[in-house]
A and B are shown apart, each in its own frame.
Chain A
Amino acid sequence: MNLRKLAVPTLAIIVFLLLWEGLVWVNDWPNYKMASPSDLGPAFTRYWELFLVQGWQTLWRTVVGLLLAIFFGVGVGMIMGFSRTMRDALYPLLVGFNAIPKATVVPIVALIFVGAHDFNTVLIAFMISFFPIAVSVSIGLSTLEPEYRDILRSLGASRFTIFWKIALPKTLPEFFGALKVAVTLAFIGTNLMEIVSPHGRGLGALFDSGKTNSDYPLMFAVLIALAALGILLYYIVVWLEQTFAGWAERAET
C-alpha cells in the first residue's frame, strides 16, 4: 500500500519528464524556445548553491506570509462568523480587496516600502493567501447548526468553551481546504515580488537573472524548483490535515 502510494506519483512524474523531453526532441526546439529536462541537470549542478540559498529565501518568506495569513484570516473569519453585522460590513471590502490583481499591487508596495525586500515579499504572500482562509473560517462558523450550540449552552457553557469544543474543530476541514489553496497562492505572491523588485532575492530573483543573462535552462530549472517547494508545503498541509481533521475523511469502501 505504502509502496503503491509512493510509486504511482513518482512514475507519473517520470512519464511527464519523458514526454517533455520527447516533445522538445521531436520539434528540435533550441533551448531558448523551450529547455528540455536534460538541460536542467547541468543548470542545477552549476548553480546548486544559489538554488539552496535562494530557495530558502523564498521558502521562509512564503511560510511567514502564510502564517500571518492564517493568523489574520482566522481572526477576521471568526469576527465575520460570529457577527452578522460584521459579516455584512466586511464581505464587500474583502471581495473587492481580493479582486484587485496582486501583480498591480506589487509595484505599489515596492514603492511604499522601498528597500524593505523581506517585508514586501512577506506582505504580498500574506495579502494573496489571506482571502480563502478568512472566507472559509467565516462560513464554517456561521453555518454551525444551532443545536450544536444549544447542547453546550443549555449546560451553562461559556462562549469560549463552545468555540473551543465545537465551533473550532467543526471548522477545521474547511480551514484545511482553504489552506491548501492558500499555500500555492502564497508562492505566487512571494515570486511576484521577487521578480519585480530590483535587487530582489529568492528564486524569483534567480529567475530574473536567468532572463537577463539569457540562461534559459536556468529559468526552467527555477520553475521546477518552485514546483518542488510547492509540493513540499502542500503535503505538509495534507499531513497536518490528516493529523488534526482526519475524522472528516470517510473510510474507503
Chain B
Amino acid sequence: MASDYLIEIKNVTHAYKLPDKSKLPVLNDLNISIAEGEFCAVVGPSGCGKSTLTRLIAGLMKPDEGEVWLHGERVRGPKKTVGMAFQNPVLLEWRTILDNVILPLEIVAASMPRKDREARARELLALVGLEGFEDKRPSELSGGMRQRASLCRSIVHRPEVLILDEPFGALDAFTREDLWQTMHDLRAEEPFTTLLITHDLRESIFLADEVVVLSGRPATAQYKMRIPGASADRSIDDLYTPTAAEQLNVLRRQIEIAQGRAADEDLGPVLEAAQ
C-alpha cells in the first residue's frame, strides 16, 4: 500500500524490562507520520522515551506493539538508508576528519572507489565550513566543528532518513545557532527526511516543519504544531518575531502539561492567541 509518508510510527507501545523483571513503559500508542523531505522535531520532558524512538526508527530495537514503516516498508532491522547523529559527536579519534566522514560509505557503498568517497566527503565538509580541516584529527577541532563533521558523516551516504538525537545539546548558545543555520543550508542541498530530538524549543521551531510534543512517560504524541515557512530561507532573526514568540509560548505550555505541572484547561486563551 502506497503511503504519503516516508516515516510512519503507528500505534507504537514499548516498555523496558527492568532488572527486577517489572516493566517500565516508555512509549504508549505513539503515532507520528513524516512526509518525504519534511523536518519533524520531537520535544518532551526528560526521560520520556525520545531516544527510544530514535532507536526504533533506526531498527536497532523492535517495538513491543505497533509498527514502524520507512518508505512503505516495515522496519524489522537496521537499514542502510538511515543516518544518525548524537549529542556526543562520537568521532573516531584515530581517523582524520575526512576518514571519519567516509566511514558510512565503507559500510553501505563498499564498491565505491576511494576517489569518489573522498570527493563526496570533501564536498560535504566544504558545505559545513570545514574546508581545510580534512586531514586534522578530531582532538584538534572544537566541539562545534566536531559536531559539524558528525553531521557530515550522518548524511554522507545520502540516507533517506536522518535521525538527530540532540546533536546541538552540548554546544554553547552561539555555536548552536551557527549550527542551526548550517542545518538549514544542508537541507537546501541534500534531500533527506529528518526526525530531530531536542530539548530546545527555539531550535525546534527554527528547524522543523512540524513540532511534536510528547507527553510524560509513557509518551504519546500530546500535541502537534505546524511551523509554516520553516523550509524556506530563515535567519536567527525569525526567532524574535511575534509569531515565533507565540509558537514558543504554546509549546512551553504543552511541555508544562507534559511534565504534569499545568492543567489542560488553562490552555484555551494561549491557544487562541497563537492562531
A interface residues with partner B (beta carbon < 8 Å): 145, 147-148, 150-157, 161, 165-166, 169-170, 172, 245, 247-248, 250-251
Among B59, B88, B106, the residue within 8 A (CB) of A154 is B59
Q: Say whether B77 contacts A147, CB under 8 Å.
A: no
Q: Say whether B84 contacts A150, CB under 8 Å.
A: yes
B263 at the interface (CB under 8 A from A): no
13 A-B pairs whose Cβ atoms sit less than 8 Å apart in the complex: A150-B55, A151-B90, A152-B107, A153-B78, A154-B58, A154-B59, A154-B84, A155-B80, A155-B104, A155-B157, A156-B108, A157-B107, A165-B92
B94 at the interface (CB under 8 A from A): yes
Among A145, A156, A166, the residue within 8 A (CB) of B88 is A145
Among A150, A170, A250, the residue within 8 A (CB) of B60 is A150
Give CA–CA (A251, B140) in the complex, Å: 9
Give CA–CA (A118, B83) in the complex, Å: 55
Among A154, A169, A245, A251, the residue within 8 A (CB) of B78 is A154
Q: How far is the CB of A239 from the nearest CB of chain B, in Å?
A: 17
List the B residue with the shortest CB-CB distance to A155: B107
Q: How far is the CB of A34 from the nearest CB of chain B, in Å?
A: 48
Q: Say whether B137 contacts A156, CB under 8 Å.
A: no
B86 at the interface (CB under 8 A from A): yes
List the A residue with the shortest CB-CB distance to B139: A250
Interface size class of B (residues with CB under 8 A): 20 to 34
Give CA–CA (A150, B153) in the complex, Å: 13
B interface residues with partner A (beta carbon < 8 Å): 55, 58-60, 77-80, 82-84, 86, 88, 90, 92-94, 103-104, 106-108, 137, 139-140, 153, 157, 163
Other contacts beyond A154-B58, A155-B104: 13, CB < 8 A: A147-B86, A151-B90, A153-B78, A155-B82, A156-B79, A157-B107, A161-B107, A169-B92, A170-B94, A245-B94, A247-B139, A248-B94, A251-B140
Chain A residues, CB < 8 A from B55: 150
List the B residue with the shortest CB-CB distance to A245: B94
Q: Say whether B90 contacts A145, CB under 8 Å.
A: yes
Q: How far is the CB of B117 from the nearest CB of chain A, in Å?
A: 14
Q: Say whether B92 contacts A166, CB under 8 Å.
A: yes
Chain A residues, CB < 8 A from B108: 155-156
Chain B residues, CB < 8 A from A157: 107
Chain B residues, CB < 8 A from A145: 88, 90
List the B residue with the shortest CB-CB distance to A250: B139
Chain B residues, CB < 8 A from A155: 78, 80, 82, 104, 107-108, 157
Q: How far is the CB of B172 from the nearest CB of chain A, in Å?
A: 21
Chain B residues, CB < 8 A from A247: 93-94, 137, 139
